Amino acid sequence: MNKLDQLVKYSTIVADTGDIQAIKSYKPLDATTNPSLLLKASELPHYEPLLNASIAYAKNTTARGCLQQIAADKLSTLIGQEILSHVDGRVSTEVDARLSFDTTATIDKAKRIIDLYGELGIDKSRVLIKIASTWEGIQAAKILEAQGIQCNMTLIFSFEQAKACADVGAYLISPFVGRILDWYKKHENLSVTHIDQDPGVQSVRAIHSFYKNAGYNTVVMAASFRNTEQIEALAGCDRLTISPTLLNDLKQDTGELTASLKPKDEDSCFHEKPSPMLETDFRFLVNDNAMATEKLAEGIRLFTKDQLLLEKKLAKIPV
């Protein structure tokens, strides 16, 4: 039995791609997208009709807003619809990263995405709204969750972000592994000789243990992997979102794989939910964590850059 087949015994596998062929091949339960993945997907011949349909929709709709932004929102849901035809679970669709510090605008955009899916006959129960885990994004998730719109809180780099997301009842968080390791390699010249020394792995393990022992229901979906060793070190995490390249590497490996994370840890210092985090504490503690502050800001910038590139591409399509 290969390691991918073994891994699915311990964790739910989610495809970190918009490539339909890869999704067909690996048959994950769910799939995640973001502006960077949508930009890559837009280069695939398979999606060309969807690009044309998106810009045509934008030109004919009565919805207010920039034509390219309307088209980009439409494209994200058309690609989401395509993905959902090949998975049994859900697709995560991301709110425009430019709204990361605006709670009201994030809520409005999330509802717009849900409405666009509704126009395609897709119920909100099959969609997770992906939101950057700023304080403003987390407060938007609190309101959306109360209204029955479930959220995938992304760009998680710190324990404080994870706790604040759980405090508001977010359905799922995506703590990043590889990007944390990248920062420590660059800024502290870290050399990892054993996977237990990997700060990205350590971060997810700490969050997972905290959630399970304190009794939070928020799903932990580790993301941003650089190698299969990181994935194996987190076997047992609720979900793992993995790129097609690493899924293939796992499929080709016939070594033994065992669960690394436990549902509960009796040695944990958390056995009940602590008081909700205050905004002042959140902002100070995240600011005090140079890695989390820099990687969160970088992630928002990169997603914004790719969103703009996607919109620029859509603007060039004649209809």
Q: How far apart are CA 175 and CA 201, in angstroms?
A: 10
Q: How far apart are CA 33 and CA 19, in angstroms?
A: 10
Amino acid 194 reads H
Count the Cβ atoms, other than its own, within 10 Å of residue 59.
11
Catalytic residue of the set 109, 124, 130, 313:
130
What single DSSP character describes residue 276? P
130 catalytic per annotation: yes
Count the Cβ atoms, other than its own, within 10 Å of residue 254.
11
Closest of 166, 179, 219, 188 to residue 301, by C-alpha: 179
Q: How far apart are CA 173 and CA 238, in angstroms?
A: 10
Residue 11 in tokens = 């964790």
SS3 state at 201 = helix
Q: How far apart are CA 66 and CA 269, in angstroms?
A: 50
Count the Cβ atoms, other than its own, within 10 Å of residue 178.
17
Q: Which residue's entry shows tokens 């660059």?
A: 186
Q: Which residues are catalytic?
A: 130
